[in-house]
Homo-oligomer: A and B are copies of this chain.
Amino acid sequence: MSRTLSDIGEFGLIDRIHKLIEEEGTQTPGITLSIGDDTAAIRPRQGYELLITCDCLVEGRHYLPDLIHPIDLGRRAMVVNISDIGAMGGLPLYTLVSLGLREDILIEDIESMYRGFLTELSPFGASIIGGNITESKANFIDITLLGEIEEGKLMLRSSAEEGDAILITGFPGQAIAGLELLKNSQSAHDMKDHPLVKAYNTPEHRAREGHSIALSGSARAMIDTSDGLLADLGHICKESDVGAELIQEKLPLSNTLRQAASELNRNPYDLILGDSDDYELILTCAPDNIEKIKSIIKGVSEIPVTEIGRITEARDRIQLICPDGQKRPVTPRGWDHFKK
């Protein structure tokens, strides 16, 4: 019979998770104390800065349990955080996982989630060094991730300059299209291999790409698209005190997304620009560096890089240049959780 959390209790669960991590996880250098005491302890490497981020997925808000398998949920929760480390140019090292769990949650589902975390951490030699488990009326996964970056190589969102080219990796908008397809379908299971549904359930991060770009020193500003392309470009504009022009025809639109937009009766450019859980990178660079950046990314992965516009002096204003040549002001409409 499947056992639930209330059958084995918090300490019982912690023992099992501890064992799973020891057996299936990797050992990261620099850890002097891992899970099992009041805190974890590390000795950071000299010559590196330590990056720290946290991000939380709440059931019903950031995921629907019927639409995602626990292992994919674990992967996604970790990717969201790895993406933040990558957007600074760093690589992940250590993580603490804090879970709020309903007492009726199945132990095997919790273990699957941890396998999802490890699936994303292990390729970097990164590991789980601590965490917390508590009962909650709604399940949530709150992850703190630490990473490192060579001193002086930090990539900021506040350093874009007028005249910079704006580049984007991959195909933003795929995840939101996948989610909408899932919601419209009769069976989540039948849809699980659809490329857009996969883009939503197990998004990819661009941490290796981000790290290579940071080391090269050839980009000016960088951010991930966790709030959506426009909203995150908006963050760059606000923090860098600049504006931006995007050329609609240059926005990367895959055939898969075009077809899905038509099925969903949506404008595909709304999908690309709006809120979507894709975790691509937006970066800005001197126009002379565009080809260099493309070739750096080519050295790391097969993900396409597209030039989609320019940074302007028009403070905090983003304009879309339409196919007819008209400039249309657009507002960052990323995910602002609460505002009505």
Measured CB to CB, the residues of A under 8 A from B are 5-13, 32-33, 36-44, 46, 49-56, 58, 60-62, 84-85, 87-88, 90, 94, 96, 98, 100-101, 103, 129-138, 140, 142, 144, 146-147, 149, 151, 154, 156-158, 223-224, 226, 239, 335-340
Are A54 and B87 within 8 A (Cβ)?
no
Cα A331 to Cα B280 with chains together (Å): 52
Chain B's closest residue to A145 (CB) is B39
Are A42 and B38 within 8 A (Cβ)?
no
Report B-chain residues with C-beta under 8 Å of the C-beta of A44.
44, 50
Report B-chain residues with C-beta under 8 Å of the C-beta of A60.
137
Most B-side CB within 10 Å, residue of A9, A13, A98, A133: A98
Report B-chain residues with C-beta under 8 Å of the C-beta of A135.
58, 61, 337-338
Are B88 and A11 within 8 A (Cβ)?
no
Report B-chain residues with C-beta under 8 Å of the C-beta of A156.
33, 37
Nearest Cβ on chain B to A207's Cβ, whole angstroms: 11
Report B-chain residues with C-beta under 8 Å of the C-beta of A62.
134
Are A42 and B32 within 8 A (Cβ)?
no
Which of B54, B133, B226, B335 sits near A96, CB closer than 8 Å? B54
Are B129 and A52 within 8 A (Cβ)?
yes
Cα A224 to Cα B96 with chains together (Å): 20
Cα A44 to Cα B51 with chains together (Å): 11
Cα A90 to Cα B32 with chains together (Å): 14
Report B-chain residues with C-beta under 8 Å of the C-beta of A55.
132
Q: Report the 8 A-B pairs with minimum CB-CB distance, sorted nearest first.
A: A9-B339, A39-B53, A38-B87, A38-B84, A39-B51, A144-B144, A44-B44, A10-B337
Nearest Cβ on chain B to A325's Cβ, whole angstroms: 32
Are B10 and A88 within 8 A (Cβ)?
no
Cα A44 to Cα B151 with chains together (Å): 12
Nearest Cβ on chain B to A2's Cβ, whole angstroms: 15
Report B-chain residues with C-beta under 8 Å of the C-beta of A137.
60, 137-138
Which of B9, B90, B140, B149 sits near A100, CB closer than 8 Å? B140
Which of B7, B85, B142, B338 sits near A5, CB closer than 8 Å? B338
Most B-side CB within 10 Å, residue of A130, A158, A337: A337
Nearest Cβ on chain B to A220's Cβ, whole angstroms: 14
Nearest Cβ on chain B to A229's Cβ, whole angstroms: 15
Nearest Cβ on chain B to A51's Cβ, whole angstroms: 4
Chain B's closest residue to A137 (CB) is B138
Known A44-B50, A138-B137, A157-B37; judge A98-B56 contact (CB<8 A): yes
Report B-chain residues with C-beta under 8 Å of the C-beta of A42.
49-50, 52
Report B-chain residues with C-beta under 8 Å of the C-beta of A87.
38-39
Cα A43 to Cα B50 with chains together (Å): 6
Are B100 and A54 within 8 A (Cβ)?
no
Are A6 and B129 within 8 A (Cβ)?
no
Report B-chain residues with C-beta under 8 Å of the C-beta of A226.
38
* 15 further contact pairs, Cβ within 8 A, besides A33-B156, A38-B87, A100-B100: A10-B339, A38-B85, A38-B157, A41-B49, A41-B154, A43-B49, A43-B50, A50-B50, A54-B131, A61-B136, A98-B98, A135-B337, A135-B338, A140-B140, A142-B142
